[in-house]
Structure 1
């Protein structure tokens, strides 16, 4: 179990390119996301840049040298994304990719390596930041697919965009609300057994009209 940090680095791409199945899945999802990426690969940095890094390491004090040595593996490679522009493949480094694209790649790596392969519970805070609602729905679908989620990994995420309620089932949607004593109470939409046919109801609409509570009191 762990709260996922969104720190994109070359080793993430290496984890995909070392496994042809994972690499194919990554490219397929990036195509579904419609970000225009046709392929992703790692390339060694130019020799002159490598020499500069080695010089910095060799001339640094012991504490700084340790810092750089621990990060050398990341620094000696750069990620290249190929985009199709007018039927021509154009190569870009990761610094030109959107934060949403990089976040999606980090998510996919953690989901595959930790949740699907090891059965971990992954926790994402405010998952909707920089990600389209349809992509989040796609990721949830991966967790619900036993052919993908072989080890039964679980996904727990928070969000503030109420539109995401549309892609969840009542037993998947949980609310938090502070009581008069300042304590946080947790309850599920499925607890509202008095709502007729809740499985077929629009959960976002029910929330907006105050049926579930869990709203700021000023509102």
Structure 2
């Protein structure tokens, strides 16, 4: 049996199955990247619900695994050289799990780096911009009298959707001919923008053709459907 006692987070969220990968997350656009990936690759794991509404990510136990206080984070008891490893940052987790299992990241060097480029595109641009639209349109920011911040983020989000629309004009998936971690990294954010954030009209989502069709293909995958609900919300 694996010994995870070196990780303080396990004192707050004990592992019932310490031989399995431990997932600390919530079904947010970033959180579902890890749960969808784990469902897709079939690696046994144990999910732990982290209540960000109660600021649980900023407690000392969670910060011991992720100093930035964000979900998702993981502990793999069977990490490199057979030793446990803790990881944070959803993009890093996607790449780690892909390389660990040899799934959803091409072994062809050119396609591999192209895939990672699109994952970084999501991390650096799509996530931050779509998230700001959500804040200024749905949450506290909607009460700001100055609407210039919202318009700035809406304009940039429309541009980013245009990048994806062009990319998907002649392909079913973001990279090559196959679904990959690039699709996983992006699907939750596009879904959230037009769904939970209710910003579809703001970004002219209905004017797009290829992005909505791609999102439907992603959401039709059983592993995606399962991953979108893991862990259970508090």
**Bin for the TM-score computed over the shorter chain:** under 0.3
Between structure 1 and structure 2, the one with the greater Rg is 1
Of structures 1 and 2, the one scoring higher in RCO (CA 8 A, sep 6+) is 2
TM-score (norm 2): 0.21
Query: More helix by proportion, 1 or 2?
Result: 2
